[in-house]
Structure 1
Amino acid sequence: MRNSTPHIIVEGAVQYPLGKLHGNKILYDFEKILIYMEAKGRLLFGREFKIYEEDREVLYKLSNYAIRDFGTCRKMGLNPDKGILLSGPVGCGKTSLMKLIRYITPHFRPYEIIPSRNITFGFNHIGFRIIEDYGKGRFYCFDDLGVEPGGRHFGTDCNVMGEILLSRYDLFMETGIRTHATTNLNAQELEERYGNRVRSRMRQLFNLIAFDAQTKDKRK
C-alpha cells in the first residue's frame, strides 16, 4: 500500500514532518530534515550523535540529491541521475551520513551499504562470482572505497573494486541504476589505486560531494 504521507516520518511516538504537501508534490524544509536526521542519528548511533554546523553544506547537497530536487541540484552542479561519491578525511562522518540520508525518503528504493574490504575478502574466499554479484542490478553504496586490500584467489591477483566499478558503470549506462560510495582518497589517489580507465568511468558514474579537508575526526 502506497504511503500517502511520505514527508511525515514516525519514530516511536514522535512524528517528524519534513515539509508539506502541495498538490502531489512535497515541499521539503531543510531545517526540519536536519532535526529529523539528528534524532534518527541518535537512535542509530547513540545519544552522542549530533549534526555539526560545519557539515551543513554537505548535508544540504545530500538532502537535495536524496529528495530529487532537480532545480537545486542543477544549481549545485549535481546530476540526480548519477550516484554520489562522498569523500573526506577519516572520521568526518561519511558513512553515518550515507546511512542516515536514506531515511528521509522512505518512498524511494533504499541502497545497501557494503564495506569495500568485505567484498575483497569475499573475492579471496569464493572468487570471481563476487564481481558478478555486485555488478548486478541492486542498489549499493560501497563504503571506504580505495583502502580495501588487494584481491587474490587461488594465485590470481585482482583489483576487485576496480572491476566492480567497471561493471557498475556498464549497468548504469544500460539501466540507469545508480551506485554510491564513500572514500578517504582524493582524485589522484583513486586514479593511482584503480587506473585511468576506472577513474574515467567514475567521473560519469558519480557526483562528487566532498567534506572540507580540514574537517575534524568526530570519533575522537
Structure 2
Amino acid sequence: METIAAKGKNEQPKISSIKKLSEIVKSGEVIASPIYSRRFSNPPKVEEIDSVFLEEAVKVVPGFVWDETNNDAITRIIDWAVGDRSRGVDPNKGLLLMGPAGTGKTSLLLALRAFCQRIGAQFFISRKSSDEADDGWRPLLWMPRHTIDVVEEYRELGHIPNVSAPVYALDDLGTEVDVRRWGESAVNVIRILIARRCEWNAPLLTLISTNLDAHALQERYDDRTISRLRGEFNIIPVLGRDRRQHK
C-alpha cells in the first residue's frame, strides 16, 4: 500500500472523514441515539473536522502523521467521538485498537482525547442519580492507564481505582506479566476490570489498545473475556509501519 507523504506543519489533511456532522449535532442539542447520545459545547464546522483533529493531535503527539495506513482508524474513531454510525461504528460500545507495536495506537488515544476535549464532547450515561441537578451527561474524556500500572495498583490497594468511571482507557492490554502474587494473577486483574466495566448498572465506555492479535488474545484470556471484547467494543485495526523507527 502506497503511503501518502507526511503533511507539512501548515498543510491541511486531504482525507475526508465526517460528511454529515451537521445532521448529527447542534450546539447544546441532543440529536443522536437515546443511549450514548452525543452533544458538544464547541462543535467544529463540518468542513473543518479533519483539520481540527489533526491540529489537536500534533499538540499532544509531536510529529503525528495522518496517512493512508492509519486513515481508516482515524476516520472510525472520529465517527465514534461524534456518534456517526454511517460507517459501521457503534457509539454505544467502547473502542479496541489492535495492531502491531509501534503503529500508533497509544498516540491515537491521546489524539482522540484532545479532539473530544476541543469540541466539548459529552455522552449520556444515566438519569438515575439522586442529584436533581445531574442531567446524566458526562464529558467524553479519560486519562489513559497502562495495563501494568493497573495491575500494580490492584495489588497495592486491593481494588481497581476508578473502575466505574464513565470513560476508562486501558493502554497496552497483554503486557501485564502473569505472575501470581497476593492472590490474583495479572491476567485475572484485567479480566476483573473488563467484566466490571461491561456489567456495571450504568452504561460505561471503555477504550483499550493492544499489540496482540485475535489469536494471541484468545490464548491469553478466558472465553468470557473474549466474548465481552467482541460484543462490547468496536474493533479498530491500526495498521502500517513501526512509526517509532520512521521519525
The TM-score by the shorter chain falls in which range? 0.7 to 0.9
Q: Which of 153, 176, 197 is matched with 1:168 structurally? A: 197
Once the 2 structures are TM-superposed, how far is the Cα of residue 27 of structure 1 from its aligned partner?
7.9
Once the 2 structures are TM-superposed, how far is the Cα of residue 51 of structure 1 from its aligned partner?
1.7
2:121 counterpart of 1:107? yes
Aligned pair in 2 of structure 1 residues 147, 32: CA closer, same or farther (>3 Å)?
Answer: same
2:49 aligned counterpart, secondary structure: helix
- What does residue 10 of structure 1 align with? none
1:179 aligned counterpart, secondary structure: strand
Bigger Cα displacement from structure 2, 32-41 vs 198-207 = 32-41
Superposed CA offset, 1:85-137 (max 9, x none) = 011111111111111112333232112211111111222333x322xx34323
- What does residue 24 of structure 1 align with? 26
- Please identify which structure carries the higher helix content: 1
Q: Which amino acid aligns with 1:52?
A: D
Once the 2 structures are TM-superposed, how far is the Cα of residue 204 of structure 1 from its aligned partner?
1.9
Task: Supply the distance in 2 between the matched residues of 1:151 and 1:39 (Cα, whole angstroms).
Answer: 42
Superposed CA offset, 1:160-211 (max 9, x none) = 111111111111xx31111110111112211211111111122222110112
| 1:159-198 alignment, distance < 5 Å | 159-171=188-200, 174-198=201-225
Query: Could you list the runs of 5+ residues in structure 1 that have no partner in the other structure?
Result: 1-17
TM-score, length-normalised on structure 2? 0.68
Aligned pair in 2 of structure 1 residues 148, 24: CA closer, same or farther (>3 Å)?
Answer: same
2:144 aligned counterpart, secondary structure: strand
- What does residue 50 of structure 1 align with? 65
- What does residue 93 of structure 1 align with? 104
Task: Supply the distance in 2 between the matched residues of 1:181 and 1:80 (Cα, whole angstroms).
Answer: 15
Aligned pair in 2 of structure 1 residues 28, 208: CA closer, same or farther (>3 Å)?
Answer: farther
Aligned pair in 2 of structure 1 residues 89, 81: CA closer, same or farther (>3 Å)?
Answer: same
Task: Supply the distance in 1 between the matched residues of 2:107 and 2:202 (Cα, whole angstroms).
Answer: 28
TM-score, length-normalised on structure 1? 0.76
- What does residue 144 of structure 1 align with? 172
Aligned pair in 2 of structure 1 residues 88, 28: CA closer, same or farther (>3 Å)?
Answer: farther
Q: Which amino acid aligns with 1:94?
A: K
Q: Which amino acid aligns with 1:83?
A: G
Task: Supply the distance in 2 between the matched residues of 1:149 and 1:162 (Cα, whole angstroms).
Answer: 14
1:165 aligned counterpart, secondary structure: helix
- What does residue 95 of structure 2 align with? 84
CA RMSD between the two structures:
2.6
Task: Supply the distance in 2 between the matched residues of 1:134 and 1:194 (Cα, whole angstroms).
Answer: 22
Q: Which amino acid aligns with 1:44?
A: V
In 2, are the aligned partners of 1:120 and 1:149 still within 8 Å (CA)? no
Task: Supply the distance in 2 between the matched residues of 1:138 and 1:169 (Cα, whole angstroms).
Answer: 12
Aligned pair in 2 of structure 1 residues 33, 147: CA closer, same or farther (>3 Å)?
Answer: same
